[in-house]
Each structure stands twice: as structure tokens, then as C-alpha cells.
Structure 1
Amino acid sequence: MSPRPAIASVLDGLVDMHVHSGPSPFPRRFDHVEAARDGARIGMRAMVAKSHHHNTQMDVLAMQGRLADVEAQVFGGIALNSTVGGLNVHAVRMTLRMGGKVVWFPTISSGRHLDCHPEDGAFPTTTVPLTLERIDIVDGEGALKPEAIEILDEIKEQQAVLNGGHMYPEYIKTLFEEAHERGLKRMAVSHPDFVIGADPALCRELIELGAFVEHEVGMYDPEGTQKWDPKNLLTWIETLGPEHTVLASDFGQKANPKPVDAWLRVGEALLDLGLPEKDLRRMVRDNPAYLLNLDA
């Protein structure tokens, strides 16, 4: 076995809140157990399995036997797209009460995502033909739909994480304002500069409401499909502050490297650019551990 690179010691205890392991209608590189087992290379403490199509908590429970010898904790969640009935509080309730940790508001069913991907509303091509419908969280007057509010209350009751999904920035702000009013403590907005289009000024408003801004290291991996410049990620971190930032992988797709390899490459790139080790640790370990309430 080859020795662990030095960056692995900095990443030790990492919590990845955005892993696209399988099963999934989208082609995936590996399943949740294999993803968690591979995380041992960097001492991963926990991960959240995300699917755009189904409740992953039931996957995790079905895999408990195989997870018995895996050190990392594995959690699931639910994305409120049309394949789970959209704003379906019953599906949310089951997911969270069975141990799920994250509720992503509409991703591939959001109007913003469909604007960006009008050909099929998705990133890769699904392995089976599926239907997809747009899901909006506001009514014709711009007010949150009652079912969205009911879901917020369930998230609060279960102390789970509210994620803004891939929605229009103004919808995310409306949702988070209501969440803040209702006393939700754990909120995150994913990749504000990918699909969503939320600028730093809006992100600051979301931070004031109690949200963390999640950036995906997979997008900055030179071996991945996006290959963004890590300097841009550092600029975001410096602009908003590591105390308000969470880093996640957003990897697991068949066409991309393993999440751990992206963590190693991008983590090292950030340190080479001058990011202090303590700030990297905070964003990959402390902040996501707080969101998942791991130390309660």
C-alpha cells in the first residue's frame, strides 16, 4: 500500500456532504458503500449520498450489512424533484425519520436547472427513460406554497439540513428567509456559481440568514469534466470567509474521478495558493460536521 500523501493528514476527518454514488438512473462510478470505503484513504468521517431521483436513506439502510466494517458514517437524503412527487412532505417525513440528514429543494426539476439544460433537464443521460416535470416552490404571487412551508417545519423538527437545490437565486432567498423566520439552524446553498447563478452579494444575504455556502471541489479538479481554476475557488473563500464555507466533492459520476482523488488534488492546490491549513480543515471537517449535527 502506498503511503498517504501529506495533504491526506490535513483532510483527515473530512465530511463530504455531496457524493453522487449509486444506485442512480444516472451512470455512477460506484455505490455508497464503495464510496465510503474509498474515503478511508483520507480518513473520511462521514458522507451524504445524493440522488436527483430518489430518497437515498433507504439505500443506506439496505447497505448497513456491507457498511459494518466501514469507518465513515453514511447518510442519505432526498431531492424534491418530480420523481419523488416534488414538494412531497410525506416523502420528506419518511426520509428524515428513517435517519436521512439533508433535504435538497428542487434540483433537476427546478426552473433554473431546466433553463440551463433545456434539452433533457439533466446533466448526463439517464440509463432508463424517465419523465421530468418542473417544480416551483412559489405561487403566482411569489409566495411560498404551503407544502414548502410544511416541509421546512419537518426539517426543523428533525434537525436536518435545508439545501436550496438548483433553484433561481431569488427562490432560494425567499425559502431561506422563511426558514430563518421559522428557526431553522442548518442551511446550505450548493455551487452558487454553477447553474444557480448566485453572486457573492446574494450569498452574503443568505449567510446573514444562517446559511453556509457549499463549493464543490470536483469542479476544480483538473482531471474532472469542468476543470475550473482553483484560484476562483480561493477568491470565493476569501470573499465570504472560511467560517461560512463548506467544501464538498459533488463527484461519483461515471465520467469523473473518484471524490477522494479530487479532494487530494484540489486540497493541495488550495494550500499551494496560500490557503491556511486551519481554514481548509474548517471547511471540510468542522462546518459540515456542524450541519450534520455529528457532535450532538
Structure 2
Amino acid sequence: MTGPDVIRRRPGAELLAGAVDSHIHACPHINGRSLDVFEAVSEAAAAGMSAIGLMDNFANSAGLAALANRHLGHLGVEVFGGLIMEPPAGGVSAEAVEIALRYGYGDGDGARFVSLPTHHTRNVALQEGRSPLFVESCLAIPEAGPLPDPLPRILDLIAAADVVFNTGHVSGPEAVRAAEAAQAAGVRRILAPSAHYDAETVRALAALGAVAEFSFFFVSHATQVGLTHVDAARNRPALVDAGRMAALIAAAGPENAMLNSDCGVFLLPPPAEGLREFLLLLGEAGVAREDLRRMTSDVPRRLFRLGAA
């Protein structure tokens, strides 16, 4: 592990003070990890960060977050988790969501977010050239009419718990439809991964009150290598130019955008370093320093109710 003095001497390290990295893959995975959950918390503390969010495609991560808070809470980094509704984690299931929302040791534990699938969506399956049978098994959001069951019940659960609804890796039009349905169901916290959307879609999501998420992973060299996510197949997402990402951030408005590392995979630097590099890169692409701070501190703290009792 790198010591705090070394981390804080690096250019741009001051941008990490009080920052939240809401998208860290330090949980067990079928790809190699650069660090585990406890190391991620210690590294965040060394960088002066205030919170981290754990993402896991195979399980509800709220339990690991509760464990980290119990044993490392003295470091001053709040850890939160949630559920990505991938098949290994229970799939698109109201029961899985109900459990995730209560999972932990009590005292505010439980999922802070519930996400639509990230890999078992029609959008991603088509991009990966999956078989027709595989595509058919994946989640698709219809252009009109009610959402497929059990999504209406799941949105009701999210609204009642006042946690974040993440639209996952659906297409742009599907994300807008999902955000509209969530808003109609009373969901007040919506997050939409937006790195591969166009500016019109990002503006439409922001108009619905959704926060657009932008991650270091998609501007990084990790997009050049096929990785496994759900099985032995190796697939890679499209690289996003930093200038294009800066333009999408402008389309959302920094008050409606959030930045995080999406690090943890062995090919990338550890999350705090990845976030530092990301902020410097976006700064060079024209994003104002005060906006970088807002999108890594104010916005995620508000969205995930960090520091709330």
C-alpha cells in the first residue's frame, strides 16, 4: 500500500480531499482485483476521501460495506453498497431487493442503491454479439406501456426506502423510459451511467432529475482488453474520448453529474489513484476545477445520503 504522504504529494491529490468514489470493484470477482475492500477503505482514508461505494456483479455488496464500517469506521471513510440485479445476485427480483435493503447489522445498514443489470441487458448482449437465446433472456425496457414485472414492485420498494435507482447498462432510450417510470413511482434518487449516450439523451435524463454517471474506466486502457464479466466470454466496452465525456458532462450540467473511478480491476490503478488521474484528465479536457469537486463530493453525498443517520 502507498503511504498517505506519497499519495497527497501527487499532482491533483488535493481534489481527493473529501471526495466520494461511488463505484469501486474491490469485491471478489472472476477477473483479478487490484485490492480488497479493506485495502480500498484504507487507501481512501490515506487520500483524505470521505466515502466509497462497493459494486459487485455477483452479490449484494451492502454486507461487505457494513463489515467495513464496523471494523474500519475509525478511519473516517463511510462505506456503502447495494445490489446490481444480475442473475448471480438474484436477478431482477423483488425478493432480492427486499433482502438487500435490510442486509447488514442494522443502524442504517442495507443497500444504498439498486441497479438494473449491467451485463444481462439486451443493449449489452447485442453489443457483445451474444446468441439470440442469450439476448432473449436479458432485460429490455419496452418503448411504451408498463414495465415488465417485477420492475413496478421493485420501483415501489426503492421509493419507500428512498435509495438510489441505477438504470444500469440499458440503451439511452431505455434509460429515459426507466427514469420516467421511476419518477412516476415516487423514486427521488436516480443514477444513469451515461458515458456512451449522446448529449440529447443526457439532457433528457437530467430533465427527469437523474444524475449522469461518468467513470474513469471508459476513458482508460482497460477498454482495450477483453474482460470476463458473466462467463468465460471476453468482451470490451467502447473507449470514450475525454473531450467527448467533458461535452456530455456539460450537457448534464455539473449539478446533475457524478464522477467515479470504476476501478478495482487488475489492469487499472487502485481506485484513489484512478480517480486522481481521471480528475486531472477531465481538467485538461476543460472541466472547471470547482465542477470536478462538485461532481465528486456534493453530488454523490446528496444522491446517496452520505453522512445521514
The answer for the alignment partner of 2:302 in structure 1 is 290
Looking at structure 2, the residues matched to 41 and 282 of structure 1 have their Cα atoms a distance apart, in angstroms, of 21
Q: Is the 8 A contact 2:122 2:140 kept in 1?
A: no
The answer for the alignment partner of 1:202 in structure 2 is 201
Can you give the 5+ residue segments of structure 1 that lack an aligned partner in the other structure?
121-130
The residue type equivalent to 1:150 in the other structure is: R
Q: Is the 8 A contact 1:83 1:132 kept in 2?
A: no
1:23-62 aligned within 5 A = 23-62=28-67
Looking at structure 2, the residues matched to 44 and 254 of structure 1 have their Cα atoms a distance apart, in angstroms, of 22
Looking at structure 2, the residues matched to 88 and 180 of structure 1 have their Cα atoms a distance apart, in angstroms, of 20
Does residue 84 in structure 1 map to residue 83 in structure 2?
A: no
Residue 269 and residue 170 in structure 1: after superposition, are their counterparts in 2 closer, same or farther (change >3 A)? closer
- Superposed CA deviations along residues 164-205 of structure 1, whole A, max 9, x for unmatched, are 101122322221111111221110111441xxxx31111211
- Superposed CA deviations along residues 227-250 of structure 1, whole A, max 9, x for unmatched, are 754222222222322111111111
SS at match of 2:246: helix
The residue type equivalent to 2:211 in the other structure is: F
Q: Is the 8 A contact 1:243 1:282 kept in 2?
A: yes
The residue type equivalent to 1:11 in the other structure is: L
Looking at structure 2, the residues matched to 220 and 41 of structure 1 have their Cα atoms a distance apart, in angstroms, of 25
Bigger CA drift: 224-233 or 238-247? 224-233
Residue 245 and residue 138 in structure 1: after superposition, are their counterparts in 2 closer, same or farther (change >3 A)? closer
Report deviation, 1:60.
2.4
The answer for the alignment partner of 1:105 in structure 2 is 116
The answer for the alignment partner of 1:125 in structure 2 is none
The answer for the alignment partner of 1:174 in structure 2 is 177
The answer for the alignment partner of 2:9 in structure 1 is 4
Residue 238 and residue 174 in structure 1: after superposition, are their counterparts in 2 closer, same or farther (change >3 A)? closer
TM-score, normalisation: structure 2: 0.82
- Superposed CA deviations along residues 54-104 of structure 1, whole A, max 9, x for unmatched, are 111122234445424432111111111111332211111111223210111
Residue 135 and residue 142 in structure 1: after superposition, are their counterparts in 2 closer, same or farther (change >3 A)? farther
Can you give the 5+ residue segments of structure 2 that lack an aligned partner in the other structure?
104-109, 225-238
Bigger CA drift: 202-211 or 55-64? 55-64
SS at match of 1:143: coil
TM-score, normalisation: structure 1: 0.86
The answer for the alignment partner of 1:265 in structure 2 is 277
- Superposed CA deviations along residues 145-167 of structure 1, whole A, max 9, x for unmatched, are 23101111111111110011011
The residue type equivalent to 1:220 in the other structure is: V
Aligned pairs, how many? 282
Q: Is the 8 A contact 1:41 1:260 kept in 2?
A: no
1:66-81 aligned within 5 A = 66-81=71-86
- Superposed CA deviations along residues 203-224 of structure 1, whole A, max 9, x for unmatched, are 2111111101100023224x64
Looking at structure 1, the residues matched to 212 and 273 of structure 2 have their Cα atoms a distance apart, in angstroms, of 22
Q: Is the 8 A contact 1:4 1:41 kept in 2?
A: no
Q: Is the 8 A contact 1:82 1:132 kept in 2?
A: no
Q: Is the 8 A contact 1:82 1:135 kept in 2?
A: no
Residue 236 and residue 295 in structure 1: after superposition, are their counterparts in 2 closer, same or farther (change >3 A)? same
Looking at structure 1, the residues matched to 278 and 212 of structure 2 have their Cα atoms a distance apart, in angstroms, of 18
